[in-house]
């Protein structure tokens, strides 16, 4: 087993989040025509809640839990639905969107540490969202709202261009089987959606414990003219977590498979571009379990170009 990364390592200084641009007054909103993504990046599981969570859900609906009218699916957003975020939060403040918030460990911690910033947590799985809502209420966090909806539609319909200060995607479903790669959230179309809602100087932060997805995100977002890797060329060669994963085939080991390690020359990641751990991303139970089985964490940070 290789040594685990120093997960307490502080991130190098980065630009302050750009101020979000005010929403346009036109009710139709000036937004780019973007195709709906197919297929969906998730598969819904059981929506059944424990009685205690159901009571919390019912009490929070229309408050911490956004009451979003559905479109054709129970996770889609009705085309005529919009939100005035200043009215929703009762103030005008930078908004950070976290996609795939799970039970809310990361977003709740960030919201508590940043009371002057508002957060939208997007989570499609109702049991996870119920735990998230319960956490928000228990910790009395007034600067978090929860959307149980398809993330691309939320970005398209609920935000004006340049209205989001940062977008966070931590540990998205890797869909690691090749036949399922098409379900991954981060693809060319999704990059366009994120670019639309971020102003120049806005930041997109990502993290994954799956090396194949990490390489895909680094490549796709890095190829976009709308984003710049804040850590291009850093943590390359033998300092790269990707080199270590390939050299020992840590992905296979972590899944209980026979490893097929590469020679160092072939395993060597010359490109790098991996960010230090983002200081604002608390270590969740999911990440702790990933580290325990020897997986490596890949952080990426991109800034929206003018």
Which domains does the chain possess?
Answer: 54-238+274-304 (3.40.50.150)
Q: What residues are labeled active site?
A: 173
Residue 180, pLDDT score: 60
* Average pLDDT for the chain: 87
Decide if 210 contacts 201 (C-beta within 8 A): no
pTM: predicted TM-score of the whole model, two decimal places: 0.84
In 118-274, which ranges are E strands? 118-122, 144-147, 166-170, 203-208, 227-229
Residue 41, pLDDT score: 46
**Residues in the annotated binding site for S-adenosyl-L-methionine:** 98, 123, 150, 173
Residue 45, pLDDT score: 52
Is cis: bond before 147, omega within 30 of 0? no
What would the pLDDT profile of 272-301 be if each residue is shown by its tens digit? 999 999 999 999 999 999 999 999 999 999
What would the pLDDT profile of 28-59 be if each residue is shown by its tens digit? 444 444 544 444 544 445 578 788 778 878 88
**Residues in the annotated binding site for substrate:** 177, 209, 284-287
Residue 176, pLDDT score: 67
191-195: average pLDDT? 98
What would the pLDDT profile of 225-280 be if each residue is shown by its tens digit? 999 999 999 999 999 999 999 999 999 999 999 999 999 999 999 999 999 999 99
Residue 168 sits at φ, ψ, to 5 deg, of -120, 135
Nearest alpha-carbon partner for 167 in 227, 254, 244, 249 = 227
**Residues in the annotated binding site:** 98, 123, 150, 173, 177, 209, 284-287
Decide if 102 contacts 128 (C-beta within 8 A): yes
For residue 168, pLDDT over 50 is answered with: yes
> Where are the alpha helices (H) located in 198-270, listed in sequence order?
211-223, 241-248, 250-254, 264-267
In sign, the C-alpha dihedral spanning 196, 197, 198, 199 is: positive
3-state secondary structure of 160: coil
Nearest alpha-carbon partner for 141 in 165, 169, 109 = 109
Nearest alpha-carbon partner for 193 in 152, 226, 149, 164 = 152
């Amino acid at each position: 087993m290789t040594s685990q990364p120093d997960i307490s390592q502080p991130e190098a200084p980065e630009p302050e989040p750009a101020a979000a641009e005010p929403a346009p007054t036109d009710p139709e909103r000036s937004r780019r025509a973007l195709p709906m993504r197919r297929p969906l990046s998730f598969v819904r599981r059981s929506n059944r809640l424990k009685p205690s969570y159901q009571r919390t859900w019912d009490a929070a609906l229309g408050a911490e839990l956004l009451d979003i009218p559905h479109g054709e699916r129970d996770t889609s957003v009705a085309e005529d639905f919009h939100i005035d975020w200043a009215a929703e939060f009762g103030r005008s403040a930078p908004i950070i969107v976290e996609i795939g918030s799970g039970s809310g460990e990361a977003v709740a911690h960030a919201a508590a540490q940043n009371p002057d910033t508002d957060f939208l947590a997007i989570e499609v799985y109702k049991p996870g969202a119920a735990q998230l809502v319960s956490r928000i209420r228990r910790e009395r966090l007034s600067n978090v709202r929860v959307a149980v909806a398809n993330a691309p539609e939320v970005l398209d319909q609920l935000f004006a261009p340049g209205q989001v200060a940062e977008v966070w995607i931590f540990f998205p479903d890797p869909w690691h089987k090749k036949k399922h790669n098409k379900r991954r959230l981060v693809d060319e179309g999704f990059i366009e959606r994120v670019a639309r809602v971020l102003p120049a100087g806005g930041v997109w932060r990502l993290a994954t414990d799956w090396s194949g997805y990490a390489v895909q995100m680094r490549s796709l977002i890095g190829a976009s003219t709308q984003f710049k890797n804040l850590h291009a060329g850093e943590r390359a060669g033998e300092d790269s977590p990707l080199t270590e994963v390939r050299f020992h085939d840590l992905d296979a080991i972590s899944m209980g498979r026979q490893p097929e390690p590469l020679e160092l020359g072939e395993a060597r990641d010359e490109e790098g571009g991996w960010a230090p751990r983002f200081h604002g991303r608390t270590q969740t139970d999911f990440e702790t379990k990933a580290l325990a089985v020897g997986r490596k964490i890949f952080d990426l940070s991109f800034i929206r170009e003018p």
